[in-house]
Amino acid sequence: MPDFAERFLALAAARSPLCLGLDPSVELLRAWGLPDTAEGVRRFCGTVLEAAGERIAVVKPQSGFFERLGPAGMAELAWAVGQVRAQGALSLVDAKRGDVAGTMAGYAAGFAGPDSGFGGDAVTVSAYLGFDALRPVLDRAAAAGAAVFVVVHSSNLDGRALQSARHPDGRTVSEALADQITAYNSARGAGVGPVGAVVGATLRPTDATILDRLPASLILAPGVGPQGASLADVGVRFRRALSRTLPSVSRAVLQYGPDPAALRDALDRYRDTAWAAVTAGG
């Protein structure tokens, strides 16, 4: 069976490289006139996924917006992941888990791969407790043909101070982490490996060299829309890695609901713009 990277590259060529965030927040449910309940989340997700159809390659459920409702919300997360699979897209659960290795083994069983508890194709993680602590989830994902996206250079401004801190050898935290990701992927052979990186679309030109340290990784690029980046920005800032980049949009599209036609129109605009950015960058 093809691994996550192979499936993404095929879907990006056939549909679009766009990644759509699935964010049933209190604010969006209210704006859509939906109850802040598991039923409201189901209706929200169903409408978004029906509108998405076969337009995009990846759907990224934000786990926190499901978890806030407890077990009922987690059941809706599992349902949404199943619906994404039924539509032939890839699911990337945005959970950003990060803990000691023993606990990460549990998260791996829950999130990493089609045979995991939630059945997702990929998951986001945080390496604050060290890259080696992530190995249980990295190894399980690699064995299952899934992917793990490690936060390297986030889209929020608050992350810059920590991520740009210097190691004794002169590298920033982000650079050192990128090097560890590349070493892991390279050890598994040529081509794009199972460990991707989260690099915000708000990337400054002076920080763009981080992409040179990730030659064997898919790049998840959140931050398009309210955080200030555009798909045109992605085309310029991620020129080094455009064929491997998943530009991610959430509120910029979801604000057009609950009208399915308006959602489809917004998705079509972003899909076409993503294609134009990739073509121009290539």
Residue numbers annotated as active site = 96
Tokens of 27: 């604010």
**Cβ neighbours of 175 (radius 10 Å):** 22
Phi-psi region of 192 (alpha: psi -120 to 50; beta: other; left: phi over 0): beta
Residue 166 and residue 158: Cα distance in Å, rounded?
A: 16
Cα–Cα separations (whole angstroms), residue 273 to 30, 163, 196, 224: 29, 30, 23, 12
Residue 260 and residue 92: Cα distance in Å, rounded?
A: 23
Tokens of 277: 């950015």
What is the C-alpha R_g of the chain?
Answer: 18
Q: Are the C-beta atoms of residues 163 and 174 closer than 8 Å to each other?
A: yes
**Cβ neighbours of 115 (radius 10 Å):** 11
Place of tokens 């810059």: 160
